[in-house]
Amino acid sequence: MLSGFLITGILLDSRRMAEEGQRSPFFYIRQFYIQRFLRIFPIYYLAIIIGLVINLPPAREIWLWLVTYTSNIYITLNNTWIGSFGHFWTLAVEEQFYFFTLGDLGTAMMFAWLIGEALSGFKGPIGRLLEFKPLIYLGKITYDIYVYHNFVPPILVAIFERLGIPFHTPGFISFIISGTISVLIASLSWHLFEPPINNLKNRFPYAARPAAISPFPDLVKVE
């Protein structure tokens, strides 16, 4: 919900700027897709690579389905779950949605407008809650949490088994431990792995960069 809130804001701003004629609709389509791909692809493929390296089942058996964002199709065709990679079916659906709506800015803007209209009613305590800084931070790293969270429980089980300590999943204690570690890993990924990638987004802004202002505006150039 938090990441959806942020994406909706981007789409609404893009729609407004397109209607104002600041740039062509194609420009905003391009910027949106580039920025989404820069956000989604790197840690998605990082998780797959790590899974392949440590041989986390069933990474090596279904790697092609994973790298092509078609794991949802694999699950449907084989009527089976794919372990720690199971949650990636939602990312497959998301990327397929982006692919099939490519070029249709109007459809994306319509969905953004509908969500934006709903969100505009959130005032009072709910509105203040959504503006709570820790929640805003979680909104920034929520995709990282989503990518990594499903890998944490089986790794913890293996670690605790080696230590001879029972670790039951699911359970309240395991939920707290797994959730906390997932947030920590996501935070580390956000601050250590992703900054260079996120900096690339600055090359594809939605709004035009303001022209440089001369520090000496009163000087007149003399030929």
Query: pLDDT-based confidence at 219, cuts 50/70/90?
Result: very low
pLDDT over 90 (residue 71): yes
Q: What is the pLDDT of residues 18-32, one digit of tens each?
A: 677 777 777 777 787
- pLDDT on residue 128: 73
- Residue 82: other Cβ atoms inside 10 A: 21
Domain assignment of residue 85, yes or no: yes
Domain assignment of residue 209, yes or no: no
Say how far apart CA 50 and CA 59 lie, in whole Å. Answer: 9
Average pLDDT over residues 44-52: 94
Contacts of 97 by beta carbon, 8 Å cutoff, 6+ apart: none
Q: Establish if 168 belongs to a structural domain.
A: yes
> Both tokens of residue 124?
């009072």
pLDDT reported for residue 58 = 94
Please indicate, yes or no, if residue 11 is contained in any of the structural domains: yes
Is residue 197 predicted with pLDDT exceeding 90?
no
Residue 122: the pLDDT is 57
In a domain, 26, yes or no: yes
Domain holding 149, by residue range, is 2-203
Q: Please tell me the predicted confidence (pLDDT) of residue 223.
A: 40
Q: Distance between CA 189 and CA 222 in Å, rounded? A: 53
Query: Among 10-19, 68-77, 162-171, whose mean pLDDT is lowest?
Result: 10-19
Assigned domain for 219 exists: no
Q: Which residue has the higher pLDDT, 76 or 107?
A: 76
* pLDDT tens column, 107-138: 655 655 555 555 555 566 766 776 778 888 88
Q: What is the pLDDT of residue 107?
A: 61
Q: Is the pLDDT of residue 204 over 50?
A: yes
How many domains does one find in the chain?
Answer: 1
For residue 88, name the pLDDT band (cuts at 50, 70, 90): very high
Domain-embedded: residue 195:
yes
Position 208 in a domain: no
Average pLDDT of the segment spanning 155-182: 85
